[in-house]
Amino acid sequence: MKGKMINMSVNSQLLRQIPKVDELLRHPRLASLSCQHTILTETVREVIDSLRQAILAGEEPSIQPDSLCDEVERLVQKKTTMNLRPVINATGIVLHTNLGRAKLSTAAVQAIQSVAQDYNTLEYNLEKGSRGSRYSHVEQLISKLTGAEDAMVVNNNAAAVMLVLSTMARGKEVVTSRGELVEIGGAFRVPEIMSQSGGTLVEVGTTNKTHPSDYVRAVTENTGAFLKVHTSNFKIVGFSEEVSLEEMVRLGHERNIPVIYDLGSGAMVRLEDYGILDEPNVLDAMKSGADIISFSGDKLLGGPQAGIIIGRREYIEAMKKNPLTRAFRIDKLTLAALEATLREYQDPAQAIQNNPTLRMITATMETLVPKGEQLLAELQRTCDGSYTVELTEDFGQVGGGSVPTQMIRSSVVAVEPTLVSPDVLEQRLRRISLPIIARISKDRLLLDVRTIEEHHFSYIAESIRDCCQK
């Protein structure tokens, strides 16, 4: 009983010492904070309330003004920091889905800024002085680059596939190989997209083998299309066989059945020239004679998130009239970035140089090793004994569901902290002002220079030094 009375006395004393909201707001440290007064006031109240609850729970927290100011500043920073913000990708995965996939080129970023700051010609025809089409900004450019009769753009490739199927196969049967009924990314499942679009899925073949005769036998009076799906991040190896796009086009056209190809990643250059194998590209797909092809804008194209549809004009025109098109339409900022990205492809060499995705994917060890040496030198310069570093080789990935079976050789700086664990270091790097996202292998933190820009090297070195402290 006596102990309880003492605690109650202590609680009462501490409660009386809690500063008032106005009093704490006048503290010089808080008065100088650069944030909205409402946010600051709200945060001060939260800190004081938490302090009161802790005391009532029998705890003896610090009520020193500096301690309270520390907590207020921490919470204010958390509240005023953007949730969607830049990070440094040190993973070596070029198209890292969790980190926003493709980095945009300087031209694309400038185009976004220009369009965002002013009114624009989104749906206005300057020559006629009347309403125009938002697709007109890119459709001719896409057609010229790919050789397609017509083109249109929606907000992502999942929407593109759904729009294509809804327009061309609603109420009809769509013949697809069982081995291509994949799930890609965030629960994008081909059968479910098919169902939502109003088409009826007809599976042919087996998981590992599908033959031309399987498609032929599946044809009925109600067949609306043949659908081929690039399986992206899934690949069957070994005892397997699939029908090529060219063969499927031949089968379809002989029977007056349109062929739809969900290409997925959307490479506009032949990556095999740079050692990236087994990744189809848009130009070759278009030459196959497929009636409709769809692909992503933010994968191997290296642009913003978008679903690009190319092919025969009669089908594209029908898609533009589909009510789903308005729900899936692309916005002005995406259009600006996409147009700028596509314009650089008019000169393939310029695209390789200026497009960050292509530049990183095609980088060779001859350029990556000196880059690794540069980062190593920065880390050695800032080293204070809290870590050791070594330049080594490891493997990254294209990412984004592209070439899932192929790893790409890269130059990597391995950091081994001496005062904290690699896990602690990795966590701390994620929590700094410009987070550094790295990976751990064999109790070392790996920094893959393929996906790191040189202007970040000094910041990385200083951050590693600070985060390696006990």
Give residue-wise pLDDT tens across range 332-379: 999 999 999 999 999 988 899 999 999 999 999 999 999 999 999 999
Contact 41, 87 (CB under 8 A): no
Q: 139 CB contacts (<8 Å, ≥6 apart)?
A: 150, 151, 152, 153
**pLDDT of amino acid 57:** 86
Angle at 440 between CA 438 and CA 444, to 5 degrees: 110
Tell me what the mean pLDDT of segment 290-303 comes to: 96
Tens digits of residue pLDDT in 163-181 = 999 999 999 999 999 887 8
How many alpha carbons lie under 13 Å from residue 239 in its C-beta half-sphere?
1
Cite the beta strand spans of 71-142 per DSSP E: 88-89, 93-95, 124-125, 130-131
| Closest to 138 in 3D by CA, of 309, 313, 348, 342 | 342
Residue 297 has pLDDT above 70, yes or no: yes
Q: Over the stretch 69-109, which tens digit does the pLDDT of each residue have? A: 999 999 999 899 889 999 999 999 999 999 999 999 999 99
Residue 1: pLDDT band with limits 50, 70, 90: very low
pLDDT at 234 over 70: no
pTM of the predicted protein model: 0.89
pLDDT at 206 over 70: yes
The pLDDT tens digits for 433-468 are 999 999 999 999 999 999 999 999 999 999 999 999
Q: What angle do CA 240, 246, 247 make, to 5 degrees?
A: 60
* Higher pLDDT pick, 405 / 105: 105
Q: Which option is the CATH number for 88-96+361-467: 3.30.70.1290, 3.90.1150.180, 3.40.50.720, 3.30.1050.10?
A: 3.90.1150.180
Has residue 138 got a pLDDT over 70?
Answer: yes
Measured CA to CA, the distance from residue 269 to residue 263 in angstroms comes to 14
**pLDDT > 60? residue 2:** no
CA distance 73 to 204: 62
- Taking a C-beta distance cutoff of 8 angstroms, is the pair 375, 392 a contact? no
Instruction: Write the CATH number of the domain with boundaries 106-354.
Output: 3.40.640.10
Nearest-5° Cα angle at 117, 116 to 121 = 65
pLDDT band at 8 (very low <50, low <70, confident <90, very high): low
Give pLDDT, residue 305.
Answer: 96
